[in-house]
Structure 1
Amino acid sequence: MSEKNVSHTKWMKRAIFLASLGKNTTSPNPMVGAVILDKNGSLISEGFHLKAGMPHAEAMAFNNLKKDAKDGTMYVNLEPCCHQGRTPPCVDKVISSGIKKIYISNKDPDKRVSGKGIKLLEEAGIKVHLGLCKKESLELNKAFIYRNITNKAFGVLKWAMSIDGRIGLKNGKSKWITNEDSRSLVHNFRAEFDAIIIGGNTLRKDNPLLTSRGSKTPEPLRVVFTKTLDLPTKSNLWDCNEAKTLIIYDSRTANESFLKRIPKCVEVEKISSDNPELISKLLAKRGFNKVLWECGPKLATSAVKAGCINEIISFIAPKILGGENSMNPFGDFEFREMNETIKLSGSKIRFIGNDIFVKSSLKNFCYDY
């Protein structure tokens, strides 16, 4: 790599780092960072998108300018927007600044923008370089990209289990399989998500709180999916002071009279079947990029079969629960041959005390759009 290319890579990696400072707060928007150099190649400004509704990275960078950007260079990890949303189009600011060159990692997958922003820049005489640090930028915004291309939320399935693969005893008791550090990590981990999904069985058995314990404000939306609406009238999830809650139910089989017995602050949505893909699409339509499935084996199996799960996270504790009837992470996929089984890839493994943390990709997705 030439010295010149090393310099371009350095500044784009700086833009990607700045973008990452908006982690957990930009959804439904992407994480974006911007760096501006003057015509002599000296840094004169930078910025990042902090939160939806606040200035975009390019706007912040222009607001922070130390000197004139005319004939300068910009580095930004995602194509500047060209539509009027909650903030003005960034393309207009880039063009009016007199910048001569712009390096962009990825096109914006949003159909209102995709390629249109680049075209406007080129028509204004700005030299556009596309694809620098493409892989790193894709990884940063994979959930945003996935939602815009598939109209489904990027799904992560999480469970904790014993070393013999059990998530609970046959009587349903599961507190606590993993150690305190693992449980604390889960609370922090939830802050990465826009929503957390469980099924009716998990609500009835565990009465979970499903919050990040203050790691994120506002907390992720708590989602309960039920086919019957056979749910308890008293639950931690009905306390909307902790976090917002949404009940999604199958309109064909549910007893809707239950809805009169819970607080009005709990949101309700009905869907036409028990297909988890409808949940994923409903949440994507709300602008949710990334959702965490913390459900039991029945819903987990259905979610995997429906293509709603992209990554899997498992906490494995050095305990033996035993018992043929103890709870497993999944139900029966009815595989008959080993070549039918589900293959995971890109596994990352680390220890949390004596527990083992494993993160793997379940569904490979082509981000070349």
Structure 2
Amino acid sequence: MASAVEIDAMRRALQLARRGPRGLNPQVGAVILSPTGEVLAEGYHRGAGTPHAEVDALSQLAPGAARGATAVVTLEPCNHTGRTGPCAVALIEAGVGRVVHAIDDPTDTATGGAARLRDAGVDVESGVEGDAAEHLIHDWIGLQRTGRPHVSVKWAQSLDGRAAADDGSSQWITGPAARRDVHARRAQADAIVAGTGTVGADDPALTARAADGSLLDAQPVPVVIGKSETAPDAAVRRHPREPLFFATHDLRAVLADLADRGVQRVFVEGGPTLASAFVREGLADELLVYVAPVLLGGSRLALGDLGVPTIDAARRLDVASLQTLGDDLLIVAVPRPTGPDAAGTHENRGEA
């Protein structure tokens, strides 16, 4: 059972982990404790190709200084040789006597570090502050299990389910509070996705902005999907991040490419055609529906064909939350899991 000192060290390791970048590899932090509980060293993973958190911490100690020490780390020490060697071996060679980790490594390539440590006589305990650690790298874990980023599909609609008036005008269906919420969520994403139809019709900047119009510090990579050409002077080409263009309608291929680039969270904001396609293909992990108390009527529906021929085939959702934003309502819903994307593995931690 973990001691109070070890629990405090794990909480510190989680703080350290947050300093690391999101991407192909998980954010991991580590703290080395002396046999009497003093902090000897701290470390975290700074990105692909750099030492893992445990090795980063050990590198700050003189040879032999970690003998009999306890390594507290937010993720099970890896058992894989990629750009760096196995952390489990580094801990064994350093003479560490005990390892406390928060969660097991979910990848087939890197798991097994705990077993290797035990075989070498190291005392190992897992599950300490596990919920907090899993929350920290939730998107990375999801990418390992599904092979693709977490996808949030957003749309704004009138109370009668329209995305625009019959003349095509849609700014602004929702009010300022809802728009601020959208931009905050954009900033939390690694990529923002729109279709060429929306880019051509509305010329969106696809940036994350503050209420005064200034750019937020965190900006998602703009992604444009579709076979139509994007104009040379399109606003998206002036985005602070270099845009990615995919001349395809194969959404799974796009998501796989983004996963290989280290994208963990995708925000889809590309109009009814693209939103419908993500939902229809079972690629939406979360739906963000902003509902304004206004009636528009007409034919401009917020969603199109979802491949639902009968009521029995309806796509069932679980409502995760309801939130009032000014005069508008935000419904966050999660599709009930079906199909092949409910499981899978995307092995990436070994790339570091």
- TM category (shorter chain) comes to 0.7 to 0.9
The equivalent of 2:329 in structure 1 is: 356
With the length of structure 2 as denominator, give the TM-score of the two structures: 0.81
The equivalent of 1:97 in structure 2 is: 94
Q: Deviations over 1:246-272 (max 9, x none)?
A: 22123xxxxxxxxxxxxxxxxxxxxxx
- Segments of 4+ in structure 1 off by > 6 A? 366-369
The equivalent of 1:156 in structure 2 is: 152
C-alpha contact (below 8 Å) 1:280/1:308 kept by paired residues:
no
- Structure 1 residues 98 and 280, CA gap change in structure 2 (3 angstroms): same
- Structure 1 residues 276 and 146, CA gap change in structure 2 (3 angstroms): same
Structure 2, unaligned stretches of length 5 or more?
210-214, 347-352
Residue 65 of structure 1: how far off its partner (Å):
6.0
Letter of the 2:198 counterpart? T
Say which of 296, 299, 311 aligns to 2:274: 299
- Structure 1 residues 248 and 9, CA gap change in structure 2 (3 angstroms): same
Q: Deviations over 1:43-102 (max 9, x none)?
A: 444333344455433234335569943322222221223445555543343223322111
**Aligned CA-pair RMSD:** 3.2
C-alpha contact (below 8 Å) 2:277/2:306 kept by paired residues:
no
Residue 208 of structure 1: how far off its partner (Å):
0.9
Between the aligned partners of 1:14 and 1:164, the Cα distance in structure 2 is 49
The equivalent of 1:267 in structure 2 is: none
The equivalent of 1:220 in structure 2 is: 220
Per mean C-alpha deviation after superposition, the further-off stretch among 146-155 and 348-357 is 348-357
Between the aligned partners of 1:363 and 1:145, the Cα distance in structure 2 is 19
C-alpha contact (below 8 Å) 2:279/2:306 kept by paired residues:
no
The equivalent of 1:341 in structure 2 is: 314
C-alpha contact (below 8 Å) 2:187/2:220 kept by paired residues:
yes
Residue 10 of structure 1: how far off its partner (Å):
4.7
Q: Deviations over 1:213-232 (max 9, x none)?
A: 44456x43221111x42543
Say which of 132, 138, 145 aligns to 2:141: 145
Between the aligned partners of 1:13 and 1:341, the Cα distance in structure 2 is 44
Per mean C-alpha deviation after superposition, the further-off stretch among 51-60 and 75-84 is 51-60
Residue 205 of structure 1: how far off its partner (Å):
1.7
- Counting only pairs closer than 5 Å after superposition, residues 29-178 of structure 1 correspond to structure 2 as 29-63=25-59, 68-85=65-82, 89-115=86-112, 117-178=113-174
The equivalent of 2:350 in structure 1 is: none
Letter of the 1:314 counterpart? V
Structure 1, unaligned stretches of length 5 or more?
251-273
- Structure 1 residues 87 and 334, CA gap change in structure 2 (3 angstroms): same
Describe the SS at the equivalent of 1:16: helix
Number of aligned residue pairs: 336
Higher relative contact order by CA 8 Å / sep ≥ 6: 1 or 2?
Answer: 2
Q: Deviations over 1:114-142 (max 9, x none)?
A: 22x33332333212223334343333323
1:321 to 2:295 alignment: yes
- Structure 1 residues 34 and 202, CA gap change in structure 2 (3 angstroms): same
With the length of structure 1 as denominator, give the TM-score of the two structures: 0.78
- Structure 1 residues 348 and 52, CA gap change in structure 2 (3 angstroms): farther
Between the aligned partners of 1:55 and 1:346, the Cα distance in structure 2 is 41
- Structure 1 residues 103 and 301, CA gap change in structure 2 (3 angstroms): same
C-alpha contact (below 8 Å) 1:31/1:49 kept by paired residues:
yes
Between the aligned partners of 2:176 and 2:45, the Cα distance in structure 1 is 34
